[in-house]
């Protein structure tokens, strides 16, 4: 039987880890919905509960995690609404307990923003404009750079070798070869000057909406990428709806940061990369018992057939005219 690293992260060890950072727990513990890492709300004697995030062993180096923290803390220092890790009296934001790196965060309430509310999109655009204005001011030295090779080429190879059912392999192999050609052609337009420090995983699940403010959480996937990587996931629906949503986002964004409309050509390429990378992420994590329990629909014949259909639709989307700024 395979033993997974998180098997050793028992409730007692979670509490011991938090107390090793200088807090006294009241032993109340609530596991939060998180799969890539393990995240808990931990009760603290005489104080508000804290959020403890235990990083997946082997995914990030210590230098990469610290660079994520520095970016979050710089944003917080600039009074941009992100939930950054707490820093102890010795200036440390990252702690270690046994084999685990972990960080502590203040608990924040909120709910996902409603994207059909154009006023919300305007606020999101303003906040992202401020994030990117600071993101442009420096570069990452250790965090990853968004790439076609990692998110499509390597993902494709992994899935073909170990996961795609035999009867679907010819269709998947041919289709993803066409997607790789199309995405590579589009993404070849992206220059180093087009890429900045971004949140990297900007969807409504990583935003806490409270008091008409968007509080961004979970910079675990922050990376170097085009600015539009943090914008396109807020666009959904029919073309005219996405066009209107884009207009509101960019109106708010442009108050704080210039947006290059060339980047609109890259949206469908970025969407393709997310689709292929998401399937490969689930595949890579399938030995973690939390994943089969929570993603019961993955790795079935039906899932792969629907995934191929979704990729066919994406290949067609890559041929369409990009959105434009009104």
Please list the active-site residues. Answer: 201, 218
The three state secondary structure string of the chain is CCCCHHHHCCHHHHHHHHHHCCCCEEEEEEECCCCCCEEEEEEECCEEEEEEEECCCCCCCHHHHHHHHHHHHHHHHCCCCECCCCCCCCCCCCEEECCEEEEEEECCCCECCCCCCHHHHHHHHHHHHHHHHHHCCCCCCCCCECCHHHHHHHHHHHHHHHCCCHHHHHHHHHHHHHHHHHHHHHHCCCCHHHEEEECCCCCHHHEEEECCEEEECCCCCCEEEEHHHHCHHHCCCCHHHHHHHHHHHHHHHCCCCCCCHHHHHHHHHHHHHHHHHHHHHHHHCCCCCHHHHHCCCCCCHHHHHHHHHHHHHHHHHCCCCCCCCC
Q: Are 68 and 55 in contact (CB under 8 A)?
A: no
- Compute the CA torsion angle 189, 194, 195, 196 (nearest 10 deg): -170
What is the C-alpha separation between 230 and 18, in angstroms, rounded?
Answer: 32
CA dist 70 and 73 (Å) reads 5
* CA atoms of 126 and 244, how far apart (whole Å): 16
């Amino acid at each position: 039987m395979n033993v997974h690293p998180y098997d050793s992260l028992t409730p007692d060890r979670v509490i011991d880890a938090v107390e090793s950072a200088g807090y006294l727990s009241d032993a109340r513990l609530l596991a939060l919905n998180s799969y890539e890492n393990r995240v808990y709300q931990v009760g603290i004697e005489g104080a508000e509960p804290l959020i403890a995030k235990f990083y997946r062993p082997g995914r990030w180096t210590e230098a990469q995690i610290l660079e994520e923290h520095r970016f979050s803390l710089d944003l917080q220092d600039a009074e941009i609404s992100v939930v950054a890790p707490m820093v102890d009296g010795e200036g440390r934001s990252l702690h270690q307990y046994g084999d685990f790196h972990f960080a502590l965060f203040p608990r924040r309430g909120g709910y996902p923003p409603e994207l059909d509310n154009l006023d919300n999109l305007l606020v999101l655009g303003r906040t992202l404009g401020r994030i990117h204005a600071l993101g442009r001011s420096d570069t990452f030295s250790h965090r990853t750079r968004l790439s076609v090779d990692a998110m499509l080429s390597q993902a494709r190879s992994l899935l073909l070798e170990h996961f795609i059912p035999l009867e679907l392999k010819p269709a998947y192999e041919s289709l993803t070869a066409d997607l790789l050609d199309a995405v590579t052609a589009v993404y070849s337009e992206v220059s180093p000057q087009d890429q900045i420090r971004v949140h990297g995983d900007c969807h409504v699940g990583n935003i806490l909406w409270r008091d008409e403010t968007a509080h961004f959480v979970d910079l675990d996937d922050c990376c170097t990428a085009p600015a539009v990587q943090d914008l396109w996931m807020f666009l959904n629906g029919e073309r005219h709806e996405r066009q209107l949503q884009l207009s509101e986002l960019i109106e708010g964004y442009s108050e704080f940061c210039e947006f290059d409309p060339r980047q609109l050509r890259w949206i469908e390429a970025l969407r393709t990369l997310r689709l292929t990378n998401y399937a490969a992420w689930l595949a890579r994590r399938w030995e973690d018992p939390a994943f089969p329990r929570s993603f019961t629909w993955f790795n079935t014949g039906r899932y792969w057939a629907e995934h191929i259909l979704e990729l066919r639709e994406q290949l067609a989307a890559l041929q369409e005219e990009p959105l434009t700024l009104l």
